[in-house]
Amino acid sequence: MTTHDVVILGSGPAGLAAAAELKRLGVRDVVVIEREQQAGGVPRHCGHLGFGWKEFRRVLSGPSYAKRLVQAAAGIDVRTGTTALSLEPGGHVRIVSPEGQATITGRRVLLALGTRETPRSARLVSGSRPWGVFTTGALQQLVYLAQVQPCKRAVIVGTEFVSFSNLLTMRHAGIKPVAMIEPGDHVMAPSPGDWIARIAFATRVLTRTRVVAVHGTRTVTGVEIEREGERSVLACDGVVFTGKFVPETAIVKVSHLALDTGTGGPVVDQYGRCSDPDYFVAGNLLRPVEASWTAWGEGRAVAHAIAASLHGALPAATHLITLEAQSPVRYVCPQRLAAPAPLPAALPFNARMGHTAHGRLRVLAGKRVVWNEERRFLPERRIDLPFDTKHLGGTASLTVDFAESTRP
């Protein structure tokens, strides 16, 4: 068993940003554990542009961005091809590598395991199991890493931001996008995503439509869709299930750490501390899903809290205010406000709605309103909750609720 100041699980934007920032803050004994053979996280196989401006003031492709992240963490012990098996009290993490199983201990452990898309199996789409069914990540790995064209005509299921990245991947591979399918009333990605799909990529965007079955024997021959009560088949040889992200919590679910039912990730306070204060979280393990630059920023911010904790400047919480989300608010993150609070929050409070709604969102301490805003809220948009935490002494819990607007 070896002991280190900080053990980081995950070498994506959050994990590597935290490692680099800890080094800058003078915390030298840091070990990063990564199950893949290369560090850099998901951006390694996102061949399109759109990364790096906030972090490096450069517009980079995913692989170039990942290399920059790795370079920024130069000199840190990054162990690839190593998988974490269990999380135990006291910062003990059981791992397995080509050398066998071992236990590594961190005075503090940072979980930066990221998120994953929901595959077809979890979406209850019926039909056969032919070749040609992918997630965004699987398609990108085949196109950018394996350099193959896995299909020629594909349907994209979903219209989140990540869904539109498939259009760039398909253009790179010479794949024709047949259509984008969205069960909701509008495209989930920011406007003008639907116009870009239609005009720049000549792709139909079908809202109020759902995929009910995949057809084909050895390979996909089409997808059956239902729209306005009528069913039809779109001919294609590939279908990409995108978005509907969930935190990568397999190892957390069987640990002693508390999980939040709303986010699906660990319960944390404003410093990223878990229910076991030896463990911290940053990035998209917290909630699904934010952009790479947000995960990077959270990694750096939580690194400051970890460094302070190691030096005794972040005392144990003697008072915890819990935050509860009431329907239709989907979740609030972080879920706790810890006092004393000697440092600024590493994770600003935010929420998301379960569906599109127009009305007033409030943060309540009992019956007292500590923050509120009235407008139209979209489920795919992060809602910042900039309420003042200075006058909440003695408060046991906060409630985030919503009232529909009575205005026409």
Query: In which band, very low, low, confident or very high, does the pLDDT at 188 lie, cut at 50, 70 and 90?
Result: confident
- CATH fold for domain 1-115+245-314: FAD/NAD(P)-binding domain (3.50.50)
Residue with the bigger pLDDT between 197 and 233: it is 233
Residue 163, H or E segment: helix 161-173
| Rounded average pLDDT over 256-283 | 97
Q: What is the pLDDT of residue 189?
A: 80
| Rounded average pLDDT over 324-343 | 95
| Rounded average pLDDT over 264-274 | 98
Q: For residue 66, what is the DSSP state?
A: H
Query: In which band, very low, low, confident or very high, does the pLDDT at 407 lie, cut at 50, 70 and 90?
Result: low
| Rounded average pLDDT over 96-117 | 96
Query: In which band, very low, low, confident or very high, does the pLDDT at 201 lie, cut at 50, 70 and 90?
Result: confident
Residue 397, H or E segment: strand 397-404
Residue with the bigger pLDDT between 392 and 259: it is 259
Parts of the chain belonging to CATH 3.50.50.60: 1-115+245-314, 120-241
Contact 15, 41 (CB under 8 A): yes
Query: In which band, very low, low, confident or very high, does the pLDDT at 289 lie, cut at 50, 70 and 90?
Result: confident
| Rounded average pLDDT over 171-186 | 93
Q: What is the pLDDT of residue 197?
A: 84
| Rounded average pLDDT over 105-129 | 93
| Rounded average pLDDT over 379-385 | 90
Bridge partners of 101, per DSSP, are 96
Is the pLDDT score of 311 beyond 80? yes
Instruction: Determine phi and psi for 259, rounding to 5 degrees.
Output: -110, 150
Is the pLDDT score of 193 beyond 80? no
Q: What is the pLDDT of residue 408?
A: 55
Report which of 287, 377, 389 is spatially closest to residue 338, judged by C-alpha positions: 389
Is the pLDDT score of 378 beyond 90? no
Of 95-99, 191-195, 290-294, minimum mean pLDDT range: 191-195
| Rounded average pLDDT over 122-151 | 93
pLDDT tens digits for range 21-37: 999 999 999 999 999 99
| Rounded average pLDDT over 333-339 | 96
Contact 173, 147 (CB under 8 A): no
Percentage, residues of the chain above pLDDT 70: 99
Is the pLDDT score of 406 beyond 80? no
Beta strand 133-135 pairing with 153-157: unpaired
Beta-carbon contacts of 135 under 8 Å, excluding residues fewer than 6 positions away, are: 117, 119, 240, 241, 242
Beta-carbon contacts of 364 under 8 Å, excluding residues fewer than 6 positions away, are: 370, 398, 399, 400, 401
| Rounded average pLDDT over 153-181 | 94
Domain 120-241, CATH number (from 3.30.420.40, 3.40.640.10, 1.10.357.10, 3.50.50.60) = 3.50.50.60
Is the pLDDT score of 149 beyond 80? yes
Report which of 378, 347, 345, 344 is spatially closest to residue 361, judged by C-alpha positions: 378
Is the pLDDT score of 191 beyond 80? no
| Rounded average pLDDT over 68-93 | 97
